């Protein structure tokens, strides 16, 4: 369902996801593996080391991933705040570019991997300055963000400035992610390196929860007055400014401790297949994408998620527009956490065989039909709304719908990850699989942006109470209001878009889906990259 009910497809979140929030519907959890992460793990000692021997390193990784989730969660909360301030969907589309850096980090990952100060540490050379910049930037923006969000008295949000600000936050967080992912492989011994993925999953989920669900709850005056206060106040317990300042300080303190107290391991054995340099890595990426099988996969996966874009990117915002409190949407994501942990384990049993894309193909029509069900939830919202809010059975319907959505989403996500792992050339697996995962994430990013942008043009409004006026443009709407009239929506572009997306989605499933499935019948030679060295 979008920012609040969804995670961006290219988001780095582990919940599915992104790509853009709480109660996340837009997104698949992000891929692991980066070019240059092929460096050798610490050599195994003569006697196996338990996790307690490296508990400090494990906790450090957990903290670093939690910090990484904070800007992701905050970025996911901003669209809901903008929606509550009546921002246009064109503005929401522009802001959605904030969620692209995690899907595009492959473009600068080779640089992060290859350029560093040997005396300071390969990963700390990027991690420390990146986190310092993030912390200082957060503290500075804590003095500016209230003005950027608008004062509520005629001055609306400065969407362009907010987009630039949070795009930089996400770019820095994506760069930190590259460094932490690489450091995780060498910080832990071979016996304990499996804890790195656990730290990634738990840490990012916790950070996203803090920056999104917890922030939206504490920022809401109605939530705080109802559950946390004895006397009502006009504002929540915290503001976005307060939150940015606090976490900016946490970033600075944590980074200082890491810079002075944590050293990188020096007992590393150069990996046989380690990427030689930046130029070699980019040449390798280009040679991979030129292969016919890979090129076909890229073209198909980039168009496969068009059918979900309206449901994933717009539904959450529409629910807020219809009066559902944004903090309630955020809190509805909490019951989904156990489901999101269990689903990959269950679904992997069906995708572990030679044809994982069969699961993708079978789940797709159900996810498309859920798009119509989401549109029904939006239509139903004003019908059941009462003075006290919404009845419990409406929230139960939303949670059930989201749970079913998660089943279909994870079925498709796990299938794609399994296929990418199956076809990736093992000699260059990190670079190869990251490329395929990056393209998969972009396949969700761009349709979501387009879907948000098309809502306003597809919406039809009429000026009621003032003859001779229209509401075709923002200027015309102002003239209508000035003449004593009001703009009334006669056709909501969201419903039009929902139907169009589902039709396009089923067309892809019927005509291109079989071609997509046939890719898993290609021989292994079709996926092997020919290299000159």
Asked whether residue 39 carries a pLDDT value surpassing 80, the answer given is no
Spatial contact of 309 and 448, defined as CB atoms under 8 Å apart:
yes
Say which residue, 458 or 276, is predicted with more confidence: 458
Average pLDDT over residues 150-158: 76
What's this model's pTM, rounded to 2 decimal places? 0.84
User: What pLDDT shows up at residue 524?
Assistant: 83
At residue 315, does pLDDT exceed 70? yes
Q: What is the mean pLDDT of residues 115-139?
A: 92
Does 266 have pLDDT greater than 70?
no
In three-state secondary structure terms, 487 is: strand
Residue (of 301, 289, 304, 517) closest to 425 by Cα position: 289
16 close to 402: Cβ distance less than 8 angstroms: no
Sign of CA dihedral 153, 323, 330, 80: negative
Identify the DSSP state of 468. Answer: T
Q: Quick one: pLDDT band at residue 152, thresholds 50, 70, 90? A: low
The band of 276, judged by pLDDT with boundaries at 50, 70 and 90, is low
* DSSP assignment string, 319-334: HHHTT--HHHHHHTTT
Contact 486, 480 (CB under 8 A): yes
In the chain, DSSP finds a helix count (H) and a strand count (E) of 22, 2
pLDDT category at 507 given cuts 50, 70, 90 is very high
The pLDDT of residue 44 is: 45
Q: What CA–CA distance (Å, rounded) separates 422 from 355?
A: 10
Least confident of 32-46, 170-184, 405-419, 441-455: 32-46
Residue identified by tokens 């090129």 is: 295
Q: Please give the structure tokens belonging to residue 267.
A: 């007992």
Sign of the Cα torsion 311, 313, 316, 321 reads: negative
Q: What is the mean pLDDT of residues 199-222?
A: 89
Average pLDDT for 120-144: 94
Greatest mean pLDDT among 107-111, 294-298, 438-442, 479-483: 294-298
DSSP letter at 74?
H
Q: What are the backbone angles phi and psi of residue 487, rounded to the nearest 5°?
A: -85, 125
> Measured between alpha carbons, how far is 121 from 116 in angstroms, rounded to an integer?
7
Q: Which two tokens stand for residue 6?
A: 């969804």
pLDDT attached to residue 52: 74
- At 460 the three-state DSSP class reads strand
The pLDDT value given to residue 389: 87
Per-residue model confidence (pLDDT) at position 370: 97
Quick one: which of 440, 330, 336 has its CA closest to 80? Answer: 330
pLDDT confidence band for 33 (50 / 70 / 90): very low
Q: 76: helix, coil or strand?
A: helix
Q: How confident is the model at residue 37 (pLDDT cuts 50, 70, 90)?
A: very low
Rg of the chain's alpha carbons, rounded to an integer? 24
Could you read off the pLDDT of 470-500 as tens digits, one per residue? Answer: 888 778 888 888 888 888 889 999 999 999 9
Q: H helices of 459-531, where?
A: 474-482, 493-507, 513-518
Residue position matching structure tokens 């076909």: 296
Phi, psi for 510 (deg, rounded to 5) = -80, -45
Q: Is the pLDDT of residue 41 over 70?
A: no
Q: Which pLDDT belongs to residue 50?
A: 64
SS (H, E, C) 127-171: HHHHHHHHHHHHHHHCCCHHHHHCCCCCCCCCHHHHHHHHHHHHH
Residue 49 has pLDDT above 50, yes or no: yes
Nearest to 474 by CA among 458, 484, 487: 487
Higher pLDDT, 469 or 429: 469
Stretch among 124-138, 283-297, 370-384, 504-518 having the lowest mean pLDDT: 283-297
Please report which confidence band the pLDDT of residue 245 belongs to, taking 50, 70 and 90 as the band edges. Answer: very high
The length of the chain in residues reads 533
Q: Is the pLDDT of residue 281 over 90?
A: no
Q: What is the mean pLDDT of residues 73-98?
A: 92
Distance, in Å, from the CA atom of 153 to the CA atom of 173, rounded to the nearest integer, reads: 34
DSSP 13-30: -S--------S--S-PPP
Q: 474: alpha, beta or left, given left = phi > 0 and alpha = psi -120 to 50?
A: alpha
* pLDDT score at 16: 36
3-state helix, strand, coil in the chain (%, to 5): 70, 5, 30
Instruction: Report the percentage of the chain scoring pLDDT > 70.
Output: 86
Per-chain mean pLDDT for the chain: 84
The pLDDT score that the predictor gives to residue 54 is 82
């Amino acid at each position: 369902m979008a920012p609040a009910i969804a995670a961006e497809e290219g988001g780095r979140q582990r919940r599915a996801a992104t790509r853009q929030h709480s109660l996340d519907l837009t997104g698949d959890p992000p891929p692991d593996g980066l070019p240059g992460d092929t460096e050798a793990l610490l050599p195994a000692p003569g006697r196996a080391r338990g996790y307690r021997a490296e508990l400090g390193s494990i906790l450090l990784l957990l903290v670093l991933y939690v910090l990484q989730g904070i800007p992701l969660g905050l970025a996911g909360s901003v669209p809901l705040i903008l929606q509550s301030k009546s921002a246009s969907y064109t503005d929401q589309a522009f802001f959605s570019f904030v969620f692209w850096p995690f899907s595009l980090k492959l473009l600068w990952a080779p640089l992060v991997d290859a350029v560093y100060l040997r005396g300071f540490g390969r990963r700390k050379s990027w991690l420390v300055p990146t986190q310092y910049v993030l912390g200082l930037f957060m503290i500075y923006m804590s003095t500016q963000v209230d003005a950027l969000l608008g004062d509520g008295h005629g001055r609306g949000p400065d969407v362009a400035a907010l987009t630039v600000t949070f795009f930089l936050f996400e770019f820095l967080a994506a760069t930190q992610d590259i460094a932490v992912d690489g450091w995780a492989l060498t910080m832990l011994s071979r016996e304990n390196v499996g804890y790195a993925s656990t730290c990634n999953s738990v840490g990012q989920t916790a950070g996203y929860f803090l920056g999104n669900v917890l922030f939206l709850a504490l920022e809401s005056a109605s939530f705080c007055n109802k559950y946390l206060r004895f006397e009502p106040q006009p504002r929540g317990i915290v503001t976005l400014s307060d939150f940015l300042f606090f976490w900016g300080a946490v970033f600075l303190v944590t980074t200082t401790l890491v810079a002075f107290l944590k050293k990188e391991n020096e007992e590393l054995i150069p990996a046989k297949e380690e990427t030689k340099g930046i130029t070699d890595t980019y040449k390798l990426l280009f040679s991979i994408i030129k292969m016919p099988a890979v090129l076909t996969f890229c073209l198909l996966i980039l168009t496969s998620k068009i059918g979900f874009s309206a449901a994933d990117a717009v539904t959450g915002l529409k629910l807020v527009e219809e009066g559902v409190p944004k903090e309630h949407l955020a809190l509805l994501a909490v019951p989904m956490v156990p489901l999101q942990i269990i689903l990959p384990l269950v679904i992997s049993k069906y995708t572990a065989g030679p044809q994982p894309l069969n699961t993708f193909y079978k789940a797709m029509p159900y996810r498309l039909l859920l798009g119509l069900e989401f549109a029904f939830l939006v239509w139903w919202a004003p019908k059941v709304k009462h003075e006290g809010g919404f009845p419990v059975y409406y929230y139960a319907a939303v949670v059930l719908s989201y749970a079913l959505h998660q089943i279909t989403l994870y079925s498709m996500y796990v299938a794609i990850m399994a296929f990418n792992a199956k076809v990736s050339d093992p000699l260059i697996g990190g670079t190869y699989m990251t490329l395929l995962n990056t393209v998969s994430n972009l396949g969700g990013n761009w349709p979501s942006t387009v879907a948000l942008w098309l809502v306003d043009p597809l919406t039809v409004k009429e000026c009621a109470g003032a003859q001779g006026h229209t509401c075709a443009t923002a200027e015309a709407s102002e003239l209508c209001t000035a003449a004593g009239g009001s703009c009334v929506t006669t056709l909501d572009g969201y419903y039009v878009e929902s139907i169009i997306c589902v039709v396009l989605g089923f067309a892809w499933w019927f005509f291109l889906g079989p071609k997509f499935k046939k890719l898993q019948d290609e021989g292994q030679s079709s996926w092997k990259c020919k290299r000159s060295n």
